[in-house]
Amino acid sequence: MRFAEERDSSLSRKKSQKSFEIQGILISQGGVNKTSLSVPGLKMEKYILIDHTADIGIDVYGASLQELFTNAAFALFDIITDLSKVEGKVEYKISISGIDKEQLLVNWLNELLYLHDVKNLLFHDFCIVDITDNQLDAVVRGDVMEEDKHVIKTEIKAVTYHCLSVVRENDCWKARVIFDL
């Protein structure tokens, strides 16, 4: 382990400043409960937040499995940050597998969460190139987090398997996912 010479350097200053900011400036509070998506001939919500005592859950919708997974990823980052501040400067290719659709969805979202956590990335654009019940290939775009630009509204620890479902209802795909906060 190495120690730098000055112990309370840049971190101290930045954080002190931030602490005062929160008292005066209204930072976005995650007011997006419903986000609409227009599909030709069909108008449906991308996702709805569901109340869960300790954590947070989403009901996600999509006209296809591909759209369902795209919307689930959108919901994840819409909860984490203010997506209007994300431009899409970096691009990642992702390949994920799972034993079924449900596990594939959890693995997909946990993969994005892992990249967010380790590389400080915020994603806003999800292009699923190919998807089956057990496998997906995607190209995702986002930005590396900048302290002065991006806001973290909620830290999501993990995507759980609790109450997990992926079902098709009348030509529409619906999934329920609970996040651990």
Partner 1 sequence: MADDKYKIQKIDDYRWRIPREGKMRVDGIVYADEQMLKEIQKDESLQQVINVAHLPGIVRHSLGMPDIHWGYGFPIGGVAAFDADEGVVSPGGVGYDINCGVRLLRTGLYHTEISHKMESLVNTLFANIPSGVGSHRKDLKLSHQDEKNVLRDGARWAVSQGYGTKEDLEHIEEQGCIPGADPELVSDRALERGRTQLGTLGSGNHFVEVGYVSEVYDEEIARVLGLIRDGITIVVHTGSRGLGYQVCDDSIRIMINASRKYNIELPDRQLCCAPISSPEGREYLAAMAGAANYAFANRQMITHWVRESFESALHIGPKESQISLIYDVCHNIAKFEEHIVEGEQKRLCVHRKGATRAFPPNHPHTPDTYKSVGQPVLIPGDMGRCSYVLVGTEKAYADTFGSTCHGAGRVMSRNQAVKASKGRSIAQELKEKGILVRADSRATLDEEIPEAYKNVTEVVNVVEHAGIGKKIAQLKPLCVIKG
Chain positions contacting partner 1, by CB under 8 A:
1-4, 6-13, 15-16, 18-19, 22-23, 26-31, 33, 49, 51-56, 99, 102-103, 107, 110, 114, 117-118, 120, 145, 147, 151-155, 157-164, 178, 180-181
Where residue 116 falls (left for φ over 0; alpha for ψ -120 to 50; beta otherwise) is alpha
User: DSSP secondary-structure letter at 83?
Assistant: G
In the bound state with partner 1, the residue whose beta carbon lies nearer, of 66 and 73, is: 73
For the bound state, the minimum distance from the C-beta of residue 51 to partner 1, rounded and expressed in Å, comes to 4
Of 34, 58, 56, the closest CA to residue 44 belongs to 34
In the bound state with partner 1, the residue whose beta carbon lies nearer, of 37 and 152, is: 152
Query: Residue 130 and residue 135: Cα distance in Å, rounded?
Result: 8
In the bound state with partner 1, the residue whose beta carbon lies nearer, of 23 and 170, is: 23
Question: Is-contact 82 154, C-beta < 8 A?
Answer: no
For the bound state, the minimum distance from the C-beta of residue 81 to partner 1, rounded and expressed in Å, comes to 9
